[in-house]
Structure 1
Amino acid sequence: MKRILRLALAVSAALGWAGAGVCAEEWLPVREISLEMRPGSPLDFSAMLPNAKIEPSRRLIANANGRLAYASAPDEPARLSCASLAWSPASGGFPDRANADRYARQLALHGYNLARLHFVDGSLMFGRKTDFDFDPETLDRIHYFLAALKRNGIYWMIDGLSSWRGAYGGHDDRWDPGGTLKLALHLDDGAFAHWKQFTEKFFTRVNPYTGVTPIHDDALALVILVNENNLEFESVVHDRRGKAPYDPMFAAPFNKWLAQRYPSSAALAKAWGSLGWTEKLENGSIRLPPDRYADSPRLRDLQAFFTELETASAAKMSETLRGFGYKGLISTYNNWPTVQAALSRRGLDVVTMNTYHDWANGYAPGSKLLQQSSLGDAANSMRMAAAARWLGKPFVVSEYDHLFWNRYRYEGGLVFPAYAALQGWDALCRHAHGPIALSYGEPYPHKRAMLPYAIALDPVARAGETLSALLFRRGDVATSRLAVPFAVRGEADLSPDMQAREPEKLTELALLGRIGLEAADRIGDRIAVLQPRDANRPEAIVEKLRASRMLPDGNATKLAAGLFQSDTGEIVLNRRDRQLRLTTPATEAVAFASASLPVKLKTLSIDGAEGDGLIAISSLDKPASLAKGSRFLVIFATDARNTDMVFRDRDEKVIEDFGKLPVRIRKGHADLRLDRTARQWQLSPIGLDGSVKPPAASGTGPVAFRLSNDLPSGPTTYFLLEFKGNSP
């Protein structure tokens, strides 16, 4: 018998697991082909979230309070819902004119008012053999699409460089880290000249469809000089077995920098504890650290060197851009939330940050993720981003995602927009090839199935983006009234740990209210996280916030129990139960593990559910009100998979085959009650294209029903709840 069991397990491992609990779960195939939103449907947000004409008075600026705002209304913060456009030939590239108009209009219908163009250099140079020989059709499509976005009131955020190959000809790996251009930019005059020439050729060329150069266009809100250009991060990207951690190009500049800091080899040896027997400061033979993970004074000095180099590099590139006539906002170093990288971002117009929950390491068979809940780690990826912000500067999340195929990604559609709004961030961009698709079944390799770093085909991610438009851009979630600065002294904050970041226990304060970095000499007697960090007790800080009434009486926060309530009272995260509750006048929502139910909010109650998921109800009325409204969008997101997905393990951490279309939604239901009554009410499914289907439930008086995604019209994540009159 044991032999038979071992044989069965071996066969299962060889063939791959069809999925853990496959017998207990049912996956319903999505029937829609068209994903093009129908104007006027409940999912058309263009009237609720209108995009005004982009003109000089509507140019985006950084106001005196460190928020993005329109030039004509500098005192009113502008929240931007961002569409990530990281197109490549594998995902279809930039659309032709007819589809560009359709796509841009669809973005407006979905509530986007900002688009990030990523890897423009890769697209322009794909298949080109000569430096700066932009593909003319691609350039024309980019120009036309920029104009289409502008006509729909959608601003642009564009990378000055994304590809490691830049605009060099003769490379076929433009979306892979195949070159060292991003590292060399900081040191090599030739590499800098290459960046400058690409920037000039792209940004200062007149767009025939707008009549102006992009660099002078009011639609260009923000330029990220180079995507993810931190020196330490780029060095990690280029790590290879048997290769030194730091490129030899840094050795001579590092030695020169050390010689300006230390008068002799003896002084350096005293500071570091020792030097190698062949190392001499006088002849420039000091070695770069041999191990980035072995803490040392050598690594501490390398961080200081990197900070000075990155600061000077950003200033030089910014000055170049200004010399071309650019008057808009500039950022760079948009990832890597370490203490060192934060110092390099101090002088930027805008701080930008990329962050991911449960990062997936590729598309190939054998790619892995951890299958962890973001509520189980108390929204750590959000907190890492929050701790990278500099208070008093606009803050833009240029990339985030809760990645497919993580089974808990329904959490992402509530976690990030809710806390981004609480923090008072300015723009939120969920990373993807593109945030929407016009249909299922497009003939491109990256559109044949759901994949990581691609949300357009994923009903769960799309439901999250729909909710995000309401919570973040519409402003359903209030911004925190408190702010806890994290004191920054400067270079004195660097440690021997190259990877040091703000302590997780301290960043939990982001679940209560706003946090961010601030110069230590500007903090005064405010409640703050001081230096050194290990002298701070988060419990003591919370007690100070309570005593000062910055946390109101009755706030439910208990750090030791993993319970966090925002100062506004609207957001409650229970780490142990894997539950996030949101209660606002316009929207109530819960991301939950089924074992954490029942739950009662102010208007919405969930008595029980089949499986984990996200449920939200939002008013579609003007003004938006759950207490008085009559039309509501209900969102129910569980999980979604491709057909015939195969994993190498029972826990579904390692992918063997991503499968194919159609997408399948995990079957589920929940029992809902509203603290409202109506003379007549009805609940109608909404297709993924916004079309309203025949009612699935109706009644009179008390509003209570079973919400199920197993429907005659096929599974969906959206429902329309309508009241025909309140009961007396």
Structure 2
Amino acid sequence: MRRCLLVAALLCTWFPDAGASDQWVPVRDVSLELRTGSPLDFSSLLPNAAIVADRRIVAGPGGRLAFAEAPEKPVRMLCASLAWSPASGGFPDHEAADRYARQLAMHGYNIARLHFVDASLMFGRQRDFDFDPETLDRVHYLLAALKRHGIYWIIDGLSSSRGAYGGYDDRWDAHGDLKLGLHLDRDAIAHWRVLQEKFLSRVNPYTGTATIRDDALALVILANENGIEFDSVVHERPERPGYDEALSGPFNRWLLSRYGSTEALARVWGVLDAGERLETASVRLPANRYADEPRMRDLQAFFVETERASTLRMSKVLRDLGYRGLISTYNNWPTVQTALSRRDLDAVTMNTYHDWVGGYSPGSAQTQDSSLAGGANYMRMIAAARWLGKPFIVSEYDHLFWNRYRYEAGLAMPAYAALQGWDVLCRHGHGPIALAYGEPFAHKRAMLPYAIALDPVARAGETLSALLFRRGDVATSALTIPFAVRGEEDLSDDMQAREPENLTDLALVGRIGLLPVNGFDRETGVSQPREQDAGTILAALRDHAALAAENRTDVASGLYESETGQILLDRRIGQLRVSASATEAAAFSSLREPIELGFMRIAQADGNGLVAISAIDAERTLSQSRRLLLIFATDAQNSNMVFRDSDEKVIEDFGELPVRIRKNYVDLELSRTAGKWSVSPVGLDGTVYPPVDRGSGRVAFRLSNDTPYGPTTYFLVEM
């Protein structure tokens, strides 16, 4: 017992939060509501028009999202993730909903994804479909408030595996078999149909229209993360290995239809276990999902056919209820198998994370790795899951707290999403913003993973996303590199098989995506089987003048320049640069030498971070604008955080508010001269404070995020 007490004491004394150092400064802001007309108010810079029939969202002829009135003109949409639960405060009352919707528009959001609405409606309810009336009213009012501010909706047809069944208190956990049942069980399908009828088909009293028929509803995700393989992995336990036995009967029937006899099956598989016969439906599911074998290949083919049939069946329910918008599903798990299941969808949706963490309990761990050192692999994985010619929606992404490099996400994801020509970008969280620090809810008492609203680093990234992605500061590549797809022939014995990383590197240069082999040009794409490498393909593109000879990409040395010339990634030193006419930015693990971006020069820095400068005068470039928004993001932690290790990989205690920002400085030079110029801190609520630096002539200054008015991530440069 004495030894245990000693170990516990050492854990608390060896690795207390880094706030014991004077390098961390507490945030003074309490209100987080943006001031109207402040440098952070993008409602004029990125206005949201009224949502009417002519402006409902459609898939344009090029496979990009567009308004119905101008289908040939792509529309980029910055998405607000609304995944509330009682622990994060739940859906707001009417007054707060009005404030919240207005704030979302000011932050530059023009679409919102409502996630786990089914769980919120059924929280504490004992009878099936007995929605909590107050929650339902709040959901309806919020939808109306969002619409009034020109914010469209994405809604999950199902998020919780408990659906609308009564009597459960674990609705946000990965329990229940409803997602699997949607593929196999008539009762589960009927339950899902009634859920759509009772929620989506109900008339919203604040809009006067059923949600499913509202022009604001742009996309329905039939069920979140509902691929059979992924759901099986989620439910796997030591006492419940392998696949659910509910799959056995349907799999045997599928095999019998395909092979006709046990003997024919044995000729393909090579060997069957004793007692296995198709005629008695006794062929077993794979005992080990990670063992490569012909049995696994056929199981994947069965999943593809089953999932495509489920999509058709569930889509018909929505169409019969009068839904005209886009439909998607299977929004994660970027394998060859799931790509085939997504082939016929209206739009492809995908979720992705860097340094994923499974929960909030002590002992949860991260790698503390940089995403740039890995070539933004979490972005490349989903880029290779896209089907060219269809809208592509990132329904969830994040570079999670407490990773010290998460400032990278605010540059990497919007820049590459723009380069790829993706349509919607949604950084996942309980909500993307909060109205204030200190709300009395369990998940708002400190920064947590999947809770970006309280994190100044994530919020700075979302501000930059509004400019790089939604405003269009970064251009879509004119170079498209298709990955040929034959069909079931592409499946292998490995259920984890996905597009090779040495080929997804191509996403750092131009647009990539899947394309049926019958529309494929071998000269400019990735053939099947995947026997090429990125270097060879890039050389061929240069030979065909599809990629400029002066493009600096060198795969061997880890250097990647976009075809547009606006983005440069250097994996060796963990550095990403963006140089565009309205925004320049750099994310860096260290600064060994100055970064020359064109308009801005970063001469030196006291540590890693993100620096970005953007023109915020309408229709002006950096060289013309009189007002420039400067973003400087480093790291942030809660007060009194405790880790189990000196590398801060394993959490012991998340601590509490106030949030503290890691102090840093950068020396900056701008390629402009001015009669007068000034640099003013901007609070997290948009308040512009008196200048901390000013001058005339050449614009050059040292910028510290530790200002006399408290630490911040925003500054206003005026000249």
TM-score bracket for this pair, using the shorter chain length = over 0.9
The 5 Å alignment of 1:2-81 reads: 13-15=10-12, 17-18=14-15, 26-81=23-78
For residue 552 of structure 2, what is the amino acid of its counterpart? Answer: A
Name the CA distance, whole Å, in 2 between partners of 1:34 and 1:22: 23
Deviation at residue 624 of structure 1 after TM alignment: 2.6
Name the CA distance, whole Å, in 2 between partners of 1:712 and 1:649: 33
What whole-Å deviation, never above 9, does each CA across 1:318-366 have from its counterpart, x for those lacking one?
0110000101110000111000000000000000000000101210011
Query: SS where residue 608 of structure 1 aligns?
Result: strand
Name the CA distance, whole Å, in 2 between partners of 1:714 and 1:124: 40
What whole-Å deviation, never above 9, does each CA across 1:298-334 have from its counterpart, x for those lacking one?
1000000000000000010001100001011100001
For residue 597 of structure 2, what is the amino acid of its counterpart? Answer: L
1:566, 1:572 within 8 Å by CA — same for their partners in 2?
yes
Deviation at residue 702 of structure 1 after TM alignment: 0.5
Is 1:571 aligned to 2:570, yes or no? no
Query: SS where residue 282 of structure 2 aligns?
Result: coil
Query: SS where residue 163 of structure 1 aligns?
Result: coil
Name the CA distance, whole Å, in 2 between partners of 1:441 and 1:517: 46
Is 1:698 aligned to 2:694, yes or no? yes
Instruction: Report the TM-score when normalising by structure 2.
Output: 0.98
1:337, 1:384 within 8 Å by CA — same for their partners in 2?
yes
Is 1:95 aligned to 2:92, yes or no? yes
Aligned to 2:470: 473
Aligned to 1:499: 496
Q: Residue 612 of structure 1: which of 608, 620, 626 is its match?
A: 608
1:594, 1:608 within 8 Å by CA — same for their partners in 2?
no
Query: SS where residue 169 of structure 1 aligns?
Result: coil
What whole-Å deviation, never above 9, does each CA across 1:24-57 have from its counterpart, x for those lacking one?
6610000010000101000000000000000001
Deviation at residue 268 of structure 1 after TM alignment: 1.2
Q: Which moved more, 1:180-189 or 1:241-250?
A: 241-250
Is 1:557 aligned to 2:565, yes or no? no
Is 1:644 aligned to 2:640, yes or no? yes
For residue 46 of structure 1, what is the amino acid of its counterpart? Answer: S
Is 1:174 aligned to 2:171, yes or no? yes
For residue 438 of structure 1, what is the amino acid of its counterpart? Answer: L
For residue 123 of structure 2, what is the amino acid of its counterpart? Answer: F
1:17, 1:646 within 8 Å by CA — same for their partners in 2?
no
The 5 Å alignment of 1:214-233 reads: 214-233=211-230
Structure 2 unaligned runs (5+)? none
Is 1:397 aligned to 2:394, yes or no? yes
2:638, 2:659 within 8 Å by CA — same for their partners in 1?
yes
Aligned to 1:726: none
Q: Residue 443 of structure 2: which of 438, 443, 446 is its match?
A: 446
Name the CA distance, whole Å, in 1 between partners of 2:521 and 2:413: 31
Distance change in 2, residues 1:482/1:630 (3 Å): same
Is 1:289 aligned to 2:286, yes or no? yes
Q: Residue 105 of structure 2: which of 104, 108, 111 is its match?
A: 108
Query: SS where residue 218 of structure 2 aligns?
Result: strand
What whole-Å deviation, never above 9, does each CA across 1:500-520 have from its counterpart, x for those lacking one?
110000000000010000001
Query: SS where residue 320 of structure 1 aligns?
Result: helix
Name the CA distance, whole Å, in 2 between partners of 1:604 and 1:537: 35
Name the CA distance, whole Å, in 1 between partners of 2:207 and 2:18: 54
Distance change in 2, residues 1:280/1:7 (3 Å): closer
2:101, 2:145 within 8 Å by CA — same for their partners in 1?
yes
Query: SS where residue 73 of structure 1 aligns?
Result: coil
Is 1:302 aligned to 2:328, yes or no? no
Distance change in 2, residues 1:656/1:11 (3 Å): closer
Deviation at residue 9 of structure 1 after TM alignment: 11
2:17, 2:640 within 8 Å by CA — same for their partners in 1?
no
Deviation at residue 7 of structure 1 after TM alignment: 13
Name the CA distance, whole Å, in 1 between partners of 2:325 and 2:577: 38
Name the CA distance, whole Å, in 2 between partners of 1:588 and 1:516: 27
2:523, 2:540 within 8 Å by CA — same for their partners in 1?
no
Query: SS where residue 143 of structure 2 aligns?
Result: helix
Q: Residue 632 of structure 1: which of 612, 628, 632 is its match?
A: 628
For residue 606 of structure 1, what is the amino acid of its counterpart? Answer: I
Aligned to 1:142: 139
Structure 1 unaligned runs (5+)? 1-5, 724-728
Query: SS where residue 515 of structure 1 aligns?
Result: strand
1:296, 1:496 within 8 Å by CA — same for their partners in 2?
yes
Deviation at residue 625 of structure 1 after TM alignment: 0.4
Query: SS where residue 185 of structure 1 aligns?
Result: helix
Deviation at residue 621 of structure 1 after TM alignment: 1.4
1:460, 1:637 within 8 Å by CA — same for their partners in 2?
yes
Deviation at residue 525 of structure 1 after TM alignment: 4.3
Aligned to 1:201: 198
What whole-Å deviation, never above 9, does each CA across 1:550-579 have from its counterpart, x for those lacking one?
211311100010000000000000000100
For residue 613 of structure 2, what is the amino acid of its counterpart? Answer: I
The 5 Å alignment of 1:358-369 reads: 358-369=355-366
Name the CA distance, whole Å, in 2 between partners of 1:314 and 1:368: 36
2:15, 2:645 within 8 Å by CA — same for their partners in 1?
no
For residue 207 of structure 2, what is the amino acid of its counterpart? Answer: T
Name the CA distance, whole Å, in 1 between partners of 2:16 and 2:589: 19
Query: SS where residue 617 of structure 1 aligns?
Result: strand
For residue 84 of structure 2, what is the amino acid of its counterpart? Answer: W
What whole-Å deviation, never above 9, does each CA across 1:684-719 have from its counterpart, x for those lacking one?
000000000010100110100001011110000000
What whole-Å deviation, never above 9, does each CA across 1:365-423 have from its counterpart, x for those lacking one?
11111111000100000000100000000000000000000000000000000000000
Query: SS where residue 373 of structure 2 aligns?
Result: coil
Aligned to 1:541: 537
2:588, 2:608 within 8 Å by CA — same for their partners in 1?
yes
The 5 Å alignment of 1:225-264 reads: 225-264=222-261
Q: Residue 661 of structure 1: which of 640, 657, 660 is its match?
A: 657
For residue 140 of structure 2, what is the amino acid of its counterpart? Answer: H
Is 1:677 aligned to 2:669, yes or no? no
Name the CA distance, whole Å, in 2 between partners of 1:701 and 1:387: 48
Deviation at residue 18 of structure 1 after TM alignment: 3.6
Name the CA distance, whole Å, in 1 between partners of 2:209 and 2:18: 57
2:484, 2:520 within 8 Å by CA — same for their partners in 1?
yes
Name the CA distance, whole Å, in 1 between partners of 2:13 and 2:411: 33
Name the CA distance, whole Å, in 2 between partners of 1:684 and 1:424: 35
Name the CA distance, whole Å, in 2 between partners of 1:473 and 1:18: 41
**C-alpha RMSD over aligned residues:** 1.4
Is 1:382 aligned to 2:379, yes or no? yes
For residue 547 of structure 1, what is the amino acid of its counterpart? Answer: D
2:116, 2:160 within 8 Å by CA — same for their partners in 1?
yes
Name the CA distance, whole Å, in 2 between partners of 1:21 and 1:50: 41
Name the CA distance, whole Å, in 2 between partners of 1:136 and 1:596: 59
Distance change in 2, residues 1:25/1:482 (3 Å): farther
Q: Which moved more, 1:521-530 or 1:39-48?
A: 521-530
Name the CA distance, whole Å, in 2 between partners of 1:16 and 1:95: 40
1:19, 1:652 within 8 Å by CA — same for their partners in 2?
no
Name the CA distance, whole Å, in 2 between partners of 1:531 and 1:16: 56
1:13, 1:649 within 8 Å by CA — same for their partners in 2?
no
For residue 552 of structure 1, what is the amino acid of its counterpart? Answer: A
Name the CA distance, whole Å, in 1 between partners of 2:283 and 2:100: 55
What whole-Å deviation, never above 9, does each CA across 1:226-268 have from its counterpart, x for those lacking one?
0000000000000101313100000000000000111321221
Q: Residue 414 of structure 1: which of 411, 416, 434 is its match?
A: 411
Name the CA distance, whole Å, in 1 between partners of 2:387 and 2:407: 29
Deviation at residue 537 of structure 1 after TM alignment: 2.0
1:481, 1:567 within 8 Å by CA — same for their partners in 2?
yes
Distance change in 2, residues 1:222/1:17 (3 Å): farther
Deviation at residue 19 of structure 1 after TM alignment: 5.6
Is 1:350 aligned to 2:350, yes or no? no
Q: Percent identity, aligned pairs only?
A: 65
What whole-Å deviation, never above 9, does each CA across 1:43-98 have from its counterpart, x for those lacking one?
00000000000000101000110000000111110100000000000000000000
Aligned to 2:716: 720
Deviation at residue 22 of structure 1 after TM alignment: 6.7
Name the CA distance, whole Å, in 2 between partners of 1:260 and 1:33: 64
Distance change in 2, residues 1:17/1:587 (3 Å): farther
